[in-house]
Amino acid sequence: MPVRRLNHAVLYVRDVAASVGFYREVLGFEVAAEIPGRAAFLRAPGSANDHDLGLFAAPGAAAPAGPQLGLYHLAWEVGTLAELADIRDRLARRGALVGSSDHRVSKSLYAKDPSGIEFEVMWRVPAEHWERERATGPLVGPLDLEAEIARWGERVTGAAAGSVT
């Protein structure tokens, strides 16, 4: 897999609002998007990413420390949609592919390794199109990878294009 860089991390937390406050006050993150009480997507100061840190409410109101809290997944970025399609096919052959999503500003596959640890492989829409893409529908929708390949072609983005913009 031609991984270009780690794009973002997603954590399960006990209290989304408290965690947002912490990362804003201590590290200067800004809120990029929010689903009140359920999830928040934060961007680091000066970052060209849509988000660098996702915070999801842990299942259950009083989740104990352990597997329900902490790392949910890491997202590995690839440079082209053709690479993403190739990875989709390889993950499917291994029975590791567990889902896919169109996040408007990124196109994502989700998989689990042999230990059941989930990870994401994603392609970023060119940053100059993010505002228009966010206006086209819900924050998350089903991914039609073939339609996205037809739309974007072999466009190289992110770190693969020599930048993070």
Average pLDDT over residues 43-49: 85
The two three-digit tokens of residue 104, written as one number = 């408007």
For residue 77, name the pLDDT band (cuts at 50, 70, 90): confident
The two three-digit tokens of residue 37, written as one number = 């009480």
8-42 confidence digits (pLDDT tens)? 888 888 889 988 998 888 778 899 999 988 999 99
CATH number at residue 101: 3.10.180.10
Q: How far is Cα 52 from Cα 91, in angstroms, rounded to an integer? A: 25
Q: How far is Cα 38 from Cα 31, in angstroms, rounded to an integer? A: 14
Q: Is the pTM of this model over 0.95?
A: no
The two three-digit tokens of residue 35, written as one number = 């689903």
Range of the domain at 87: 5-161
User: How many separate domains does the chain show?
Assistant: 1
